[in-house]
Structure 1
């Protein structure tokens, strides 16, 4: 089991002590540090800035949103950071959701599975630098069709000027549903699992195994990474820890998506919290956020946490490791917590 420090995306301001957190994480043996993006700070700039002060930590995006950049642009970011870090970059990608994709980026959200497959292939073709990069589309056609309305017809197929350091730069995908997780096992090098639940481990593994079994699958169980985002809290007061993270659960279930389409809500329904999810969504979308938080059951918060005394958390980590998790992506905002977490694995 490895540890990754998830710094995520910024709120109103940058994370003030991020350099200190990253330095201690590297000192304590963490494997990687990750950034993310929503509709504020981007995933790559902080990673390059903070990562410059490191020498061993892998530097990952968890996640960079597909709609934020064409695949060739993402590949340019990736090969640049991989060179600057001497081969320490992990590309973490995700489709986000329709509210962000269509509301923020002004792109169509439809066909996320097909878009992801095509996007990853273009990125791999850029990194391979075997030939000029082309794609038949339909989502990311390269070059742009000369007969399309408004096209100049002056297109030219290209390959990157800069030689990528690694053609096999690892690509991890954020995925929640069965088809998406199976495709991730088929075409990617790792799975970014948000809200991993030990109760769904058998289901997750069956989806992964389906992907590994497909013809041409890139990896097998033995060399595929499963990185689970998780809150790890060492405490004798479990009730207080649950209370601290109850608002976050309510936000993701009730507010991070539309009533008609919320992948997080669907995931918690698969965990068995269907009635609670419906109530939380209804309250949250009605503007009753305090009531939505109160409607989150304790066990629903604890489902995706590792919490208890140090010995209890170590035992829980062993259970997650046995279920196939290879990395815990933990959130920490003080150095003492990082040092404490490092003693667990």
Structure 2
């Protein structure tokens, strides 16, 4: 199992200590680093800026919002960064949810599966330096009903490699199956290795539709690791994050993160967390997150406990475990993973 560095997206501004984290991860032999975006900082700019300090780590997005850019614009950015990094770019994309897509990007959300399939097809054609044309309803190229002067174009930029990896962020069963069918990897969020039977079924269905599992298919997953002699204290550092996603990252009845934990058997707990969070009591929502829920998706507690639980992730679907922390914490994770 490889290690990746989670850089995520920013809050009010660039988080302090990021440069030190990147330098430490490179020195510690981490395989990759990953940026994200929602409705603030973008994914490509920090990845380029911080990636310029590295010579070995792969540079990944976790994830680029599809609705933020046309597929050709996303392909341009990925191809450019692949050249600048000497072939280290990994493009992770995701459909996001209706609140962000419609409320921030001003784009329609319906039919995310069909949109994703069409988006990836255009990405592949652009990166392969084909003449790009699409008659799909979501990303028609050339644009119909315009001046009539548009025509299919081929990228002036020759790709550093035509097989630049495309990973798909997915949580629902149909989206996971789509990742296995059309992408080079899957990026889960809140993956619980003890409750992954439905993920395995979805991946198998996608691979069957594809005609078999491709070599090198990746599963890149963020796993929070908090070392603390007191388990509850470690859990307390993660509870607000889970409460935010279960309670606030999506509307009632349309929250994919909520559904992930509900499928683990925490339906009642999720309902309570969401009720408190949407009611404005974020502290109570965090306190309502049970420790057992945290332990399904994170590694928390004393070093000995984490070392004992690590094989569950090592033997799971995960090929790259993406972690965050200070340089000292990254070093500790490296030591734990190495055994």
Question: Given the two structures, how large is their TM-score scaled by the length of structure 1?
Answer: 0.95
Whether 1:293 and 2:268 are equivalent positions in the alignment is no
Q: Which residue of 2 aligns with 1:269?
A: 262
Measure the CA separation in 1 of the matches of 2:330 and 2:43: 22
**Unaligned segments of structure 2, at least 5 residues:** none
Most deviating of 319-328 and 36-45: 319-328
3-state secondary structure, aligned to 1:303:
helix
Q: Which residue of 1 aligns with 2:306?
A: 313
**Unaligned segments of structure 1, at least 5 residues:** none
Measure the CA separation in 2 of the matches of 1:215 and 1:234: 41
Q: Which residue of 1 aligns with 2:218?
A: 225
Measure the CA separation in 1 of the matches of 2:89 and 2:229: 37
Q: Which residue of 2 aligns with 1:162?
A: 157
Measure the CA separation in 1 of the matches of 2:17 and 2:290: 33
Note the C-alpha offset of 1:216: 4.5
Whether 1:326 and 2:326 are equivalent positions in the alignment is no
Most deviating of 131-140 and 51-60: 131-140
Residues 82-97 of structure 1 mapped to structure 2, 5 A cutoff:
82-97=82-97
- Maintained 8 Å contact 2:273/2:286: yes
Aligned residues: 337
Measure the CA separation in 2 of the matches of 1:236 and 1:76: 47
Q: Which residue of 2 aligns with 1:246?
A: 239
Note the C-alpha offset of 1:302: 1.9
Note the C-alpha offset of 1:321: 2.1
Q: Which residue of 2 aligns with 1:171?
A: 166
Q: Which residue of 1 aligns with 2:11?
A: 11
Q: Which residue of 1 aligns with 2:23?
A: 23
- Maintained 8 Å contact 1:226/1:324: yes
Q: Which residue of 2 aligns with 1:37?
A: 37
Whether 1:209 and 2:195 are equivalent positions in the alignment is no
- Maintained 8 Å contact 2:61/2:93: yes
Measure the CA separation in 2 of the matches of 1:230 and 1:43: 19
Measure the CA separation in 2 of the matches of 1:50 and 1:64: 17
State the Cα deviation string for residues 103-151 of structure 1 (Å, max 9, x = none): 000000111111111101100100111x311111111011111xx2xx1
3-state secondary structure, aligned to 1:166:
coil
State the Cα deviation string for residues 275-328 of structure 1 (Å, max 9, x = none): 111111112111122222222222112221112333432332221121221111
- Maintained 8 Å contact 2:227/2:234: no
Runs of at least 4 residues off by over 4 Å:
none
Whether 1:237 and 2:243 are equivalent positions in the alignment is no
Measure the CA separation in 1 of the matches of 2:71 and 2:310: 36
> Relative to 1, partners in 2 of residues 1:294 and 1:311: Cα closer, same or farther, differing over 3 Å?
closer
Question: Given the two structures, how large is their TM-score scaled by the length of structure 2?
Answer: 0.97
3-state secondary structure, aligned to 1:75:
helix
Q: Which residue of 2 aligns with 1:115?
A: 115
Q: Which residue of 2 aligns with 1:342?
A: 334
Note the C-alpha offset of 1:235: 2.6
- Maintained 8 Å contact 1:199/1:271: no
